[in-house]
Amino acid sequence: MTWDGRLKFYVSSADPDAVTPVWVEFTARVMDQLSPLETRFGRTTELDDTEPGTLQLILNNADDALTFGNTSSPYTSWWGPGRKCWLTERVTSAVTQDRFTGYIQMPEEFVATEGIEQRVMVTAVDRLGRLDQARPFISTVAAHVLGSVRNASLLYYWPLLDQAGDLVDVVGTVPLTPSISGRAAGTTSSAADQLAAVLYQGAPTLPGDDVPSVRLVPGVVAGQVAAITSASANIVLHSLSSGQVATLAGYLNLESYGIVTGNALRMNLQSNGTGSGAADIAIVSDSIGQHFRLNLSGTVTGTIDSPDGSANATGRWYALGARVGFGPDVFELWVDTNVYPGTMSASPTGLGTFGALVSPFGSAAHMQVYTAAATDFTNADFLAQRTVALYGLGRQTTGQRVASILGYAGVPSAEYATTVDTGTAVMQPATLAGQDPLTALQDAVRTEQGLIYVDGSGNTHFADRRTLYGI
């Protein structure tokens, strides 16, 4: 390394998404005399999509410290693909600039003479490249649900979508399984009946979403109700401390309310540390007509009746939420934009959540259980999610869409909050299902005929056409 301290190259030993990287300097290993360092950003013409930025360099590995899998290396616990790297350049005695911030790809090792002439060719990609390799979005609403979580408050999330017929919990480890039972008689039916009761085709899609939901129909025996429920083997109690709340949120589209006499969405709760209980959102029929009710059972009980659902409980989507907590004692039913507070029979001294059950005659989607501080998933968050479920990010400007996608993909807001232009074009509802974040970003950029790029410090910029044309 002979460049007189002008360039410095670091790799972080911390997780790539760590808020504070832990930089380990590798400058002395850089072999620029063999091959220059090279960075590339941008695109060739204004009609092209921006390619991810890249960095290429060669590191000296004569001591095998950068040999992937070498357990005697001081870097063995963290060195490898995916790590964050950083290249700086001192331009003048007073000015140093970030030249590249990105993520190492699979390093390529060369051994010419063992222990003497060994090198590692490192290629890194910038944030756009990392987004190109990110997990595809499940659906537009799922992207919002997963991308809007604060402080790890989302405990369970079952998208309940018609995608490979999955009922997986994409956050926790509690899958749901189909079941069918005759409530009145307490009988169960065959496995074939159970599978037939959960349908993955022909179910409606939330207006703002892009994957149909699952549909549950009654069993072949009169009185039987289909359900999808967490298996008992997977049930884990999550205790809530004072100041925390448990929130159930989900979407229902009922075909008939007459068959559902019990719960439609359930969050199992253990109150005051003992026994079993549940917070059930049900559609009930009584003297005030058909309406949604939140029923809290167990050591602490309570009931909230809402007037919603009387006139048109079937054939439309409802956004529903149930909120139970202690210190403060919170007990609320949310139906679309309405909030109905209630009172509990006693102040709970402890709560735990452990699983869920869905059993409407109709369709359900995006069932979520949050357990955290009351400010971590609020009614405002619920309403924002409902807006996405209704409109699917439609009417966003391109800049708003870029910011949404970056947020959903987990990019820290500090990396784009002040560098994304508003945009001039107005976009259609998003169709994020199956798309990786970079593809979704490029759709927005192309719609704007703008330009997206990542600067040397790792900040993502979006230039709309006002900026590009100099208007």
Partner 1 sequence: MTATQIPYAWIATPLTRRPAPAVNAPVVSQTGGAVGYSTSVASITRYGLGAPSIQLETACTADPANLATFLTTYQATPRPRQPVMQLNLIARSDAECLRILAVGFAQWVQITGAPTRWPPGATNFIVQGIRHVMATDQRIVEWQTTALIGTSPTAPGPWFRWDSSSWDGTDIRPF
Which tokens is 244 given?
């925390």
Looking at the Cβ atoms of 189 and 397, the one nearer to partner 1 is: 397
Nearer to partner 1, 163 or 442 (CB): 442
For residues 78 and 46, the answer to whether their CB atoms sit within 8 Å is no
Return the closest-CA partner of residue 260 out of 233, 231, 295, 298. 295
Q: What single string gives the DSSP state of each residue in 82-121?
A: T-EEEEEEE-SSS-EEEEEEEEE---EEEEEETTTEEEEE
Helix (H) or strand (E) holding 131: helix 127-132
CB of 91 to partner 1, least distance (A): 6
C-alpha to C-alpha distance for 9 and 28, rounded to whole angstroms: 9
Nearer to partner 1, 38 or 117 (CB): 38
Nearest distance in Å: CB 403, partner 1: 15
In the complex, the smallest distance separating the C-beta of residue 11 from partner 1, rounded to whole angstroms, is 17
Output 227 or 452, the one with its CB closest to partner 1. Answer: 452
- In our burial notation (b when 16+ CB lie closer than 10 A, e otherwise), range 85-98 reads bbbbbeeeeeeeee
User: Which residue's CB is nearer to partner 1, number 353 or number 435?
Assistant: 435
Distance, in Å, from the CA atom of 80 to the CA atom of 39, rounded to the nearest integer, reads: 20
> For residue 419, how many other CB atoms are within 10 A of its CB?
16
Minimum CB distance to partner 1 smaller for 198 or for 444: 444
To the nearest whole angstrom, how small is the minimum distance from the Cβ of residue 5 to partner 1? Answer: 12
Q: Using the minimum distance from each CB to partner 1, give the nearer residue, 99 or 323.
A: 99
| Binding-site ranges for partner 1 (CB under 8 A) | 2-3, 7, 32-33, 35-47, 89, 91-93, 95, 97, 99, 394-395, 425-428, 430, 443-444, 446-447, 449, 451, 453, 455, 461, 463, 465, 467-471
Q: Minimum Å distance from CB 451 to partner 1?
A: 5
AA identity, residue 158: W
Q: CB of 395: closest distance to partner 1 in angstroms?
A: 6
Please, what is the minimum distance in Å from the beta carbon of residue 270 to partner 1?
46
Return the structure tokens found at 295: 């029923």
Residue 215 CA to residue 359 CA, distance in Å, equals 10
Compute the distance between CA of residue 98 and CA of residue 87 in angstroms, rounded to an integer.
6
Tell me the two tokens of residue 3: 């460049």
